[in-house]
Structure 1
Amino acid sequence: MTALHPAAARYVSNRVPRVEDPRLLTGHGSFVDDVVRNGMLHVAFVRSPHARARITGIDAADARALDGVRAVFLAADLNPDVREQWYTLIGKDVPDTPRPPLAEGEVRFVGDPVAMVVATDRYVAEDAADLVAVDYDPLPPIADYLTALDTDELVHPDYPGNVAGELAGPPPEELAEVFDGAAHVESATIYQQSYAPVPMETRGLVAEWSAPDGELTLWASTQAPHEVRLFCSRLLGLPEHRVRVIVRDTGGGFGQKMMPLREDMCVMLAARKLPAPVKWIEDRRENLLSAGQSRHEHADVRMAFDDEGEILAAQVDYAQDVGAYPTPWPVQNAVAAGMLLPGPYRVGRATFACRSVFSNTSGRTAYRGPWQFESVAREVLLDRAARAMGIDPVELRRRTLLRADELPFVNPNGMPYSDVTPLETFEHALEILDYEDFRREQRRARAEGRYLGVGTCTYVEPTTTAMGPQATEGATIRVEPSGAVNVYLSGGSSGNSLETTAVQLTADALGADIADVHTIQGDTAVTPFGGGTGGSRSGSMIAGAVEATASQLRERIVAIAAHRMEAAAEDVVLDGSRAFVRGTSAGGLALSEIAETAYFGVESLPPGVPPGLEASARYRGESTIIWANATHVSVCEVDVATGAVRLLRHIVSEDCGPMINPDVVEGQIAGGTVQGIGGALYEHLAYDEEGTPVSTTFMDYLLPSSMEVPDIEYGHVETPGPGPGGYKGVGEGGAIGAPPAVINAVADALAPFGVEITTLPLTPAALVEAIERSEEDR
């Protein structure tokens, strides 16, 4: 390949304003609910009021008779039409769990869709849904997964013991000698509550069937348009080219919108049976009721230490609630929680067991860092161990955290770490805090009757992978005859600034002015296949796809420019949408002039250069896993009379490699951190003893606001990863690192009372009870 000499990067690594913002901040975004099609019909679902019951009869006559109702679909109308239903991300041969479009024979959670009503508007559809009479024979529900293993009742008859799946590492007996001989063993059973992603935009889908040409067009709120396309083609038995998925703006996904769920299946199946396009938009109560739960889990965890505080062994016996209809297959993330338990620490030996358990509640869905519990369990246990051994928890971590010069390092469960800086980010975050000064302030405050605390969490996060369906990403870049540059990517942007990322990378790769670069994303008819936004993969994968594609196009641009300017290709520099001969600053050729030659002056092209300026390429991840890491430090004050927690500072030192756009990186960290704070202190998708959800509105499901979250302070350690530009992922980390840091801060504040925290969330009532219980025990 000809040696090319781009000018110094003008846009990458700089705080370039987001190209999305002008339309989003002025209310000109286009979401699924903004889609209007001629004659469009609207959907409402009839949902079960019972956690578990037999369906003994359904009478939809009154609903069908209501003026404006066009159809009422039951399980018998839709379920038999399912051809195949499996997710590309997971694979065809995974032993997936049941997932019928509509409940058939038995409902398995409150909110289970039983019937689908289609009408001329949403109001009529909801009125008609109220007229559908369903006869239920209630059955004993399994409202709490903790009881699911000790009952004869089954959520699904084909899953004995209500176990959706389980996997384990080496037998615990192999570590018995290590634990028996350790100077100190710390153990605890740690419980995390159920909470939910709660995207700003709820789920939604518009489906339009064209009978004459057998094509289905979907406007979707999704993180992965090509996943939706492939899933739909399999579901309906349609060729892929007969399904088009369009994603415009998406108001958050966080894993919940990674894959089509059951209501999406219903809309897809019904579309071919209807005379007009059909729209379903989920309301907030439906979202909290049936879009999925996350995080509900617990584990028996223990660690063995020598007399210097080195970690000799770690063991976790982990169980997660997967509800009635988990999406996707839950066992993978359960295994990740076990295998990542050692985290970024020098751990001698380890093992794990993990179990996914059904219950009669909303199905488990992915949520930002779905293996997050490993950090909660590990970091909480490390603080407990430090207190028990009389060691400062910071000093204990300093003795055991991996340093950059110790890498590569394979953790005892076989996870190969490289290109991370655990100890370095840890020290950086503590430096921002001024840890010793805080401890002095804490002592003064305690003397005054005020209880301050500090907590930390250091973790490693797997991001881009070179394995499976997400191992590659494609891009097409076209320089139009006008000189405008369009980059086509799969996209699925859901608030994570993929448009800005693509424009920055492409502008620098081609030496174009950023104002001349545009991106087209989220339309499967024109974009190359991509794995979607999940697993912190987008930044590094887009960088790889843009580089692989732009390098081809750039060589062609340089060849044409060199030919026209009678210069050697190696002397051509592209900058500001112009080509110059090295050493000159005037004249040259505009990119539009080069494009004009490429398209319309083909007779004057240099030998071997094809006409046009368009290229497509695919990038494959260069490492089995690209790792990122960070340290969170949280500082709080606890009012011991009321149990109220006030966060005073929250610091994040992150190593996601060189930053494409620091504003975007910090925005991703902030969003995840706030979600993690919410999970530690406020959010709880709670159920009563009968399996009825009791927090299906924002009056009951508490989210943190700007009043509860302090300004987040950022530190950056930049260690290049193995991929193009050295970029790593950053999307998941805030939600992983914030909860343990907040938990440990609260526990540190309450250490004078002997309070140990093992159950979330840390509500004021729970903390007051813990303080009172500890005082009674002393």
Structure 2
Amino acid sequence: MSAAPAAARYAGTRVPRVEDPRLLTGHGTFVDDVVRPGMLHACFVRSPMARALITGVDASEALALDGVHAVFLAEDLNPGVHEQWYTLVGRDVPDTPRPPLAEGEVRFVGDPVALVVAADRYLAEDAAELVAVDYEPLPPVADYVDARDSDELVHAGYPGNLAGELAGPPFEELAPVFDEAALVVRETIYQQAYVPVPMETRGIVAEWSASTGEMSIWTGTQSPHEVRLFCSRLLGLPEHRVRVVMRDTGGGFGQKVVPQREDMCVMLAARKVPGALKWIEDRRENLMSAGQARHAHADARIALDSAGTILAAAIDYTEDVGAYPVPWPVGNAAAVGMFFPGPYRVPRATWSTACVFSNTSGRNAYRGPWQYESLAREVLLDEAARRLGMDPADLRRRNLLRRDEMPYFNPNGMPYSDITPLETFEQALEMLDYEAFRKEQERARAEGRYLGVGTCTYVEPTTAMVTLHSTEGATIRIEPSGKVNVYVSGGSAGNSLETAAVQLTADALGVDIADVGTVQGDTAVTPFGGGTGGSRSGSMIAGAVAETASVLRERITAIAAHRLEAAAEDIELAGGRAAVRGVPGSGLPLAEIAHLAYFQPGELPPGVPAGLEASGRYRPESPIIWVNATHLCTCEVDVATGRVTLLRHIVSEDCGPMINPSVVEGQIAGGAVQGMGGVLYEHLAHDDDGNPVTTTFMDYLLPTSAEVPDIEYGHIETPAPGPGGYKGVGEGGAIGAPPAVVNAVADALAPFGARITRLPLTPERIVSLVRGEDA
């Protein structure tokens, strides 16, 4: 029997992040900080056209430059591909094309055509400009909205430019409900393309050792073990011949979940050059070719009775997946349909989704990839309230699910449990003092000022158990000194996984947090894990640490009980000591127990192995852990200039017990700000010929601290199944903020009869809405 851990001392508290001393003093190690002996540098030659045939490439001038080692084309690298599929989604999905370099035809502006390798980055860039590529322009499929009716195909094997589609029951089954409903709200809502924009762009260093047949990779990634598996398949190498090292990663947000085409090129080219090969993406490349997100529209509808009770919901969703989506996009598109009923009591629903190619950069994962469902649903609910003459809050109260209704299956079969939609909604309203705001809004309108309030309540799946994400491992080693190291796979890109692992381990073993360190991000020494994605890290690391620590507690307890001549069940672990419960001053320091375990195995009780090191693997009790929250936004709109000033942003979140409230709130804030930017500022725009027109921060606008209000937090804690009851929190802010901001603006503009169906809400668009010129 192992000693139960003492009451949590660190989990649930705002301990300082263990990452901060190095990151805040500029001592982090990012990919561009990696230097290897004889290292070479890579630069891509990229297509200036959205679609064209490649009729010739002349690299002679580039190769003539002193210090240029190679110029690789598709025929040099692409045949080296053995397999390329992502563990995240599995071998057997009907994936879309993804050649490392463009073969015969370029399919978006920024498509990599050649890879230049030179002695330094500056020379590589100069040489890339000397590579002459002859193109024969072809008509591009620039707008995904028209792509299914176009005679032009982005990929020859995909009629109608359809990358994939999925659907629920036929709409005809629900048609009578909609036909007989007192009110049907129906809109086609368009969301613009916007992107993750991590602070650190993509980067990779690959070093091939021909003598040992081993590949070493340093990269900024959310999942080092995914990179290792992908590389082993790509190059046809045994897994143990690939080592991936991830140190610090300056943001990922989904963009760095899996290797992309440029990573493939560097891996393939590394075996053909005489030294390590580094590629660091610049910001223009990142905006032009690292992938787009969000770009979608849908015909969405909700049927209600005259009292505002929801009767049915349906959505026909279409998303732009660009030329080369990463990873397979059809699953996330289906999630839009399946989650569309949200946290509401919806008796019947159906959905259909379509993923459509275009000659633009490929669709990529981005924080809550299915978030369109919340945007469409919440906009429709506000519109329904206006048409019924109800306050939007009252309409939601009538329909939101409550804690005491769990478990609950939504009409698309999603098995909700352990969520509190109505409770978070009411908490957010109370934090605002909703009734007082409505009175203030009325006074402001009389003065010619236009205030608005908007909400979004959502439910999201976290820790979804698909392939790579199904289990998580941890190794804990108590050193002979009594200090502790915990090894987990890592993938921390700003989400404080180091701090979480240290807090959890300190509590699990009853030791001081200062005596715990963590090793993450090196596949040579860390157990296999899924990395960061799907809001999984907190609950999975908690499970892995708990599973592993229980083995060590049992061993420590047995040694201490034997040494102290006590029963194992009377031993408790706290303060770095194993002591007899109720006997003050008794006990052994963990360092003494470790010394016995490593150096005096003859003193151990029968059956107890030497050493204090254990590995464990956690498999969650539930295939999905559900999380919910309410976002509430207030704003003021200047109807003359179209300027939106965000006044307050409140988030009531139920992510279960919090490992570290400061980290939780930081995750919420980061996502919320990205959501605000996606409504008011950010737009990855293309012209009618498929040319990107926002490839610098002069054109692609981001919110700054001057535009973002202080975010206020409310917490409701409903434990999830599993150790600690922890849930995920990483994606929710980016899901909940956009609808809340949109509805706040729409509420401010209600006197003008404005209906918002197209984003972003630029000043120009808002002025048009006020004038009734833009629906």
TM-score scaled by length of structure 1: 0.99
Deviation at 1:624, TM superposition (A): 2.0
Query: 1:237, 1:137 → 2: CA distance?
Result: 35
Query: 2:484, 2:569 → 1: CA distance?
Result: 23
Query: 2:50, 2:387 → 1: CA distance?
Result: 43
Partner in structure 1 of residue 385 of structure 2: 386
Query: 1:45, 1:464 → 2: CA distance?
Result: 36
Task: Output aligned runs, 1:137-536, within 5 Å.
Answer: 137-536=136-535
Secondary structure of residue in 1 paired with 2:772: helix
Deviations 1:17-71 (A, max 9, x none): 1000000000000000000001100000000000000000000000011111011
Query: 1:520, 1:6 → 2: CA distance?
Result: 23
Deviations 1:528-553 (A, max 9, x none): 11011000000000000000000001
Whether the 8 Å CA contact 1:475–1:549 is kept in 2: the answer is yes
Query: 1:468, 1:49 → 2: CA distance?
Result: 38
Whether the 8 Å CA contact 2:194–2:294 is kept in 1: the answer is yes
Query: 1:3, 1:394 → 2: CA distance?
Result: 51
Identity level (%): 76
Whether the 8 Å CA contact 1:598–1:613 is kept in 2: the answer is yes
Whether the 8 Å CA contact 2:2–2:550 is kept in 1: the answer is no
Query: 1:404, 1:195 → 2: CA distance?
Result: 35
Partner in structure 2 of residue 699 of structure 1: 698
Whether the 8 Å CA contact 1:319–1:354 is kept in 2: the answer is yes
Query: 1:6, 1:617 → 2: CA distance?
Result: 17
Deviations 1:202-247 (A, max 9, x none): 0000001001110000001000000000000000000000000000
Query: 2:564, 2:60 → 1: CA distance?
Result: 78
Partner in structure 1 of residue 596 of structure 2: 597
In structure 2, give the amino acid aligned to 1:29.
Answer: G
Whether the 8 Å CA contact 2:746–2:756 is kept in 1: the answer is yes
Secondary structure of residue in 1 paired with 2:273: coil
Deviation at 1:568, TM superposition (A): 1.5
Query: 1:635, 1:376 → 2: CA distance?
Result: 17
Deviations 1:93-147 (A, max 9, x none): 0000000000010000000000000000000000000000000000000111011
Partner in structure 1 of residue 633 of structure 2: 634
Query: 2:722, 2:568 → 1: CA distance?
Result: 27
Query: 1:371, 1:445 → 2: CA distance?
Result: 36
Deviation at 1:469, TM superposition (A): 2.7
Task: Output aligned runs, 1:608-627, within 5 Å.
Answer: 608-627=607-626
Query: 1:137, 1:689 → 2: CA distance?
Result: 18
Task: Output aligned runs, 1:712-723, within 5 Å.
Answer: 712-723=711-722
Secondary structure of residue in 2 paired with 1:387: helix
Whether the 8 Å CA contact 1:465–1:621 is kept in 2: the answer is no
TM-score scaled by length of structure 2: 0.99
Partner in structure 1 of residue 578 of structure 2: 579
Secondary structure of residue in 2 paired with 1:482: coil
Deviations 1:307-361 (A, max 9, x none): 1111111010000000000000000000000000000000010000100000000
Residue 12 of structure 2 corresponds to residue 13 of structure 1:
yes
Deviation at 1:558, TM superposition (A): 1.2
Secondary structure of residue in 2 paired with 1:756: coil
Secondary structure of residue in 1 paired with 2:688: coil
In structure 1, give the amino acid aligned to 2:248.
Answer: D
Query: 2:466, 2:748 → 1: CA distance?
Result: 44
Secondary structure of residue in 2 paired with 1:347: coil
Partner in structure 2 of residue 740 of structure 1: 739
Deviation at 1:773, TM superposition (A): 2.0
Deviations 1:80-105 (A, max 9, x none): 11000000011100000000000010
Identify if the C-alpha distance between structure 1 residues 139 and 339 changes in structure 2 by more than 3 Å, giving closer, same or farther.
Answer: same
Structure 1 vs Structure 2 CA RMSD: 0.9
Query: 1:646, 1:772 → 2: CA distance?
Result: 20
Deviation at 1:565, TM superposition (A): 1.6
Secondary structure of residue in 1 paired with 2:771: helix
Query: 2:199, 2:621 → 1: CA distance?
Result: 34
Query: 1:188, 1:584 → 2: CA distance?
Result: 70
**Structure 1 gaps, min length 5:** none
Deviation at 1:564, TM superposition (A): 1.4
Query: 2:586, 2:516 → 1: CA distance?
Result: 22
Partner in structure 2 of residue 87 of structure 1: 86
Task: Output aligned runs, 1:557-572, within 5 Å.
Answer: 557-572=556-571
Query: 1:559, 1:348 → 2: CA distance?
Result: 55
Whether the 8 Å CA contact 2:87–2:467 is kept in 1: the answer is no
Aligned residues: 775
Whether the 8 Å CA contact 2:89–2:466 is kept in 1: the answer is no
Deviation at 1:297, TM superposition (A): 0.1
Deviation at 1:692, TM superposition (A): 0.5
**Structure 2 gaps, min length 5:** none
Task: Output aligned runs, 1:651-690, within 5 Å.
Answer: 651-690=650-689
Deviation at 1:482, TM superposition (A): 1.1
In structure 2, give the amino acid aligned to 1:14.
Answer: T
Secondary structure of residue in 2 paired with 1:426: helix
Secondary structure of residue in 2 paired with 1:636: strand
Partner in structure 1 of residue 110 of structure 2: 111
Whether the 8 Å CA contact 2:266–2:277 is kept in 1: the answer is yes
Whether the 8 Å CA contact 1:192–1:295 is kept in 2: the answer is yes
Query: 1:143, 1:544 → 2: CA distance?
Result: 46
Whether the 8 Å CA contact 1:466–1:622 is kept in 2: the answer is no
Whether the 8 Å CA contact 1:466–1:620 is kept in 2: the answer is no
Partner in structure 1 of residue 40 of structure 2: 41
Deviation at 1:289, TM superposition (A): 0.5
In structure 1, give the amino acid aligned to 2:761.
Answer: L
Query: 2:711, 2:468 → 1: CA distance?
Result: 35
Secondary structure of residue in 1 paired with 2:63: helix
In structure 1, give the amino acid aligned to 2:110.
Answer: G
Secondary structure of residue in 1 paired with 2:374: helix
Whether the 8 Å CA contact 1:190–1:298 is kept in 2: the answer is yes
Partner in structure 1 of residue 726 of structure 2: 727
Deviation at 1:3, TM superposition (A): 5.0
Whether the 8 Å CA contact 1:636–1:749 is kept in 2: the answer is yes
Deviation at 1:744, TM superposition (A): 0.0
Partner in structure 1 of residue 132 of structure 2: 133
Deviation at 1:465, TM superposition (A): 2.6
Whether the 8 Å CA contact 1:47–1:114 is kept in 2: the answer is yes
Query: 1:541, 1:61 → 2: CA distance?
Result: 52
Whether the 8 Å CA contact 2:561–2:567 is kept in 1: the answer is yes
Partner in structure 1 of residue 647 of structure 2: 648
Residue 738 of structure 2 corresponds to residue 753 of structure 1:
no
In structure 2, give the amino acid aligned to 1:24.
Answer: L
Query: 2:230, 2:87 → 1: CA distance?
Result: 7
In structure 2, give the amino acid aligned to 1:339.
Answer: M
Query: 1:130, 1:464 → 2: CA distance?
Result: 45
Deviation at 1:723, TM superposition (A): 1.4
Partner in structure 2 of residue 4 of structure 1: 3
Deviation at 1:467, TM superposition (A): 4.2
Whether the 8 Å CA contact 2:57–2:133 is kept in 1: the answer is yes
Deviation at 1:394, TM superposition (A): 0.5
In structure 2, give the amino acid aligned to 1:170.
Answer: P
Deviation at 1:579, TM superposition (A): 1.5
Query: 2:588, 2:3 → 1: CA distance?
Result: 17
Deviation at 1:468, TM superposition (A): 2.9
In structure 1, give the amino acid aligned to 2:589.
Answer: A
Deviation at 1:585, TM superposition (A): 3.5
Query: 1:368, 1:342 → 2: CA distance?
Result: 20
In structure 2, give the amino acid aligned to 1:31.
Answer: F
Query: 2:484, 2:116 → 1: CA distance?
Result: 45
